[in-house]
Amino acid sequence: MSDRLTIGQLYPASLHSSTLQRSSIPKQSVPGEATFESVLQQKLLKFSNHAAKRLEQRGIELGSRQLDEISSAVDKAAAKGSKESLILMKDLAFIVSVPNRTVVTAMDGNSIKDNVFTQIDSAIVIS
């Protein structure tokens, strides 16, 4: 019984404290490996403040199916190298910043009529 134990310690006092310290080895990440959060953020479709206001003002409600269709359209536009895209879906239109995956503005059927869309490099029609 030569080992002395102190309350709160789970090891004999004869051990040197430096042997118990964890080494500060940084986590090594595989190059090109993305975190779950970064992958999730890359796949999420975002709405700008302006687009959110337009959706509310025009009474446009989007279901999960419609959001999936828009997201799929953004994926197709990104695959073609688009930057700003017009997405037409039934009687709705969306201008989307493709690299940011952000809907910039939204229009209903009445707002689309007699409108000129500028500064877009692609258009996608969802039927």
| CA distance to 51, 116, 120, 126, per residue, from 113 (Å) | 18, 9, 17, 18
Q: Does residue 15 lie in a domain region?
A: no
Please give the pLDDT value at position 44: 86
* Residue 21 forms part of a structural domain: no
3-state secondary structure of 52: helix
* Residue 1 in domain: no
Are 52 and 106 contacting, i.e. CB atoms less than 8 angstroms apart?
no
| pLDDT tens over the chain, length 127 residues | 556 655 655 555 554 555 445 555 555 555 666 776 665 556 789 999 999 999 999 999 999 999 999 999 999 999 999 999 999 999 999 999 999 999 999 999 988 988 899 999 999 999 8
Tell me the residue range of the domain where 108 lies. 46-125
Query: 6 lies in a domain?
Result: no
**What pLDDT, on a 0 to 100 scale, did the predictor assign at position 101?**
95
Q: Is residue 23 part of a domain?
A: no
Instruction: Give the pair of three-digit tokens for residue 74.
Output: 């953004």
77 strand-pairing partners: none
Task: Please check whether residue 12 lies inside any domain of the structure.
Answer: no
User: Can you give the pLDDT at residue 96?
Assistant: 97
CA atoms of 105 and 23, how far apart (whole Å): 52
94 within some domain: yes
The whole-angstrom separation of Cα 105 and Cα 65 is 19
Q: What is the CA radius of gyration of the chain?
A: 27
- pLDDT score for 88: 96
User: Is residue 25 assigned to a domain?
Assistant: no
Report d(CA 62, CA 87) in Å as an integer: 14
Number of domains making up the chain? 1
